Amino acid sequence: MIKKLISWSIKSKWMVIIMYSIMIVYGIYSVYNTPVDAIPDLSENQVIIYTEWMGRNPQIIEDQITYPLTSNLQGIPKVKNIRGASMFGMSFVFIIFEDNADIYWARARVLERLNYATRLLPSNVTPTLGPDGTGLGHVYWYTLDAPGYDLGELRALQDWYVRFGLQTVEGVSEVASFGGYQKQYQVVVDPMKLRYHGIALMDVVNKIKENNNEVGGRKFELSDIGYIIKTTGYLKNIDEIENIPLKTVNTTPIRIRDIGTVQMGGDLRLGIVDENGEGEKVGGIVIMRYGENAKEVIDRVKTKIEDIKKGLPEGINIKPAYDRSDLINATIDTLKEAVTEEIIVVAIVLFIFLLHVRSALIVVITIPVSVLFAFILMKWFGITSNIMSLAGVALAVGDLVDAGIVMVENAMKTIGGEAETN
């Protein structure tokens, strides 16, 4: 078989050149279209369900949220395992699918079953699906470098401006915020005053909800002009909250300021983020969508950050804290350096020992073509270009060079011997 293949290649040299050219072009296309990452993604094919019920201890979360969800999500096709984790105010359910299951098909099936399981949960508790990313989806971290700014202001800027801008980038699944204080209006009631005025705590909560609302009216026409009537009821500052009436006693309104105080504060925090021992920082984590090209996503994020910087207040800058593209570029440069060095060394060695340029070119051309063919197979089988796969390609080039040198040397001896005999 090999003898016939060699004979056919010698007789059909133009066909071999055409096949080589097609493989080179397709190989170059595969190099630029194969997803590139620093390390191989070995995380499980999973869908995460996140449920928040603040103020409840882990045992209540386990009994009323985690257990009902895990028990009613059983029976989904291609599911290997379901795991649950309960903590203070939060529940996580991890649904592990088989490796050949499409991630978006899996999310759709989980969402179908979740619609049924939600009715078994406490009222006002809504489970949500986690981002469509993997365990290695954290491709870019950044912090807001703003000396002299309040951490609450920076967190608000991150949540309501920077995060929304980065979530529009193609290939980004989610932008998770960290650090700082999440601003909130806090009503601190005095229980003795509540008891004195005969007001229940839930009455205070309901009155605040009722007064923080917009109510639509109707449309009427006057002089051929249509007017829309509405009431503006959104609370905008502390004074408006303090003046909310709770009840009336002898024509005297009892307001919130009469039973407590209203202040601007931060939400409960379970930790802080410090950068290089220089103090607490506010920033975000860019999570890449499943199956995307990490290097391209990071490049698009950097471009978007430059646009976002134009709208930031004076003195605030976005500084990268972790950039995986540095490791990706180092991995690619290592492969380029290894292949280039091997081509040069092989060409010099073959030319010195064989003193034949065409024979040296045969092995030299084989090295890059074989690398391109490896990228074609990587694209076909869905293997990303990472530090493991590229290292395998670099090591395999050494074995390829050895085989090429042996074959060329034997061909030279055989052809040379036949020439001398003739």
DSSP 65: I
pLDDT of residue 266: 81
* d(C-alpha 187, C-alpha 193), whole Å: 14
The answer to whether 142 and 257 have CB atoms below 8 angstroms apart is: no
pLDDT of residue 353: 72
Return the minimum-mean-pLDDT range out of 21-35, 238-252, 308-322, 331-345. Answer: 331-345
Return the minimum-mean-pLDDT range out of 41-50, 123-132, 227-236. Answer: 227-236
The answer to whether 285 and 176 have CB atoms below 8 angstroms apart is: yes
pLDDT of residue 91: 93
DSSP string, 359-381: HHHHHHHHHHHHHHHHHHHHHHT
Please give the domain boundaries of the chain with CATH numbers for all domains: 2-33+328-417 (1.20.1640.10), 44-132 (3.30.70.1430), 183-266 (3.30.2090.10)
User: What DSSP element (H or E) covers 236?
Assistant: none
Sign of the four-CA dihedral 369, 372, 378, 384: positive
**Structure-block tokens of residue 345:** 């060394």
Confidence of residue 274 (pLDDT cuts 50, 70, 90): confident
Answer whether residue 331 shows pLDDT above 90. Answer: no
Residue 143 forms beta bridges with which residues?
283, 319
**Structure-block tokens of residue 239:** 């004074």
pLDDT of residue 419: 47
Average pLDDT of 380-386?
A: 79
DSSP 98: P
Which residues, 6+ apart, have CB-to-CB distance to 389 below 8 Å?
40, 378, 383
Question: What share of the chain has pLDDT > 90, as a percent?
Answer: 19
Question: What share of the chain has pLDDT > 70, as a percent?
Answer: 96
**What's the chain's average pLDDT?**
84
* d(C-alpha 221, C-alpha 400), whole Å: 85
Amino acid in position 154: L
The answer to whether 176 and 249 have CB atoms below 8 angstroms apart is: no
**CA-to-CA dists, residue 96 to 46, 64, 90, 194, 393, angstroms:** 4, 22, 20, 50, 32
CB burial of residue 65 (10 Å; 0-12, 13-18, 19+)? buried
* d(C-alpha 324, C-alpha 362), whole Å: 38
365 CB-side CA count, 13 A? 12
User: What would the pLDDT profile of 65-92 be if each residue is shown by its tens digit?
Assistant: 999 999 888 888 999 999 999 998 899 9
222 CB-side CA count, 13 A? 5
SS3 of 145, please? strand
* d(C-alpha 137, C-alpha 330), whole Å: 19
Q: When comparing pLDDT for 403 and 243, which is higher?
A: 243
Average pLDDT of 370-390?
A: 80
User: What would the pLDDT profile of 217-273 be if each residue is shown by its tens digit?
Assistant: 777 777 778 787 777 778 888 898 899 898 888 888 999 999 999 988 888 777 788
pLDDT of residue 95: 93
Q: When comparing pLDDT for 189 and 226, which is higher?
A: 189
* d(C-alpha 115, C-alpha 377), whole Å: 41
DSSP 119: G
Task: Compute φ and ψ for 343, nearest 5 degrees.
Answer: -65, -45
CB burial of residue 113 (10 Å; 0-12, 13-18, 19+)? middle
**Structure-block tokens of residue 377:** 């197979």
- Per the listing, tokens 């609450």 go with 152
Burial 93-109 (b: 16+ CB within 10 A, else e): bbbbbeeebebeebbeb
DSSP 161: I
Question: Strand pairing of 183-189 and 260-266?
Answer: antiparallel
- pTM (predicted TM-score): 0.76
Amino acid in position 102: D
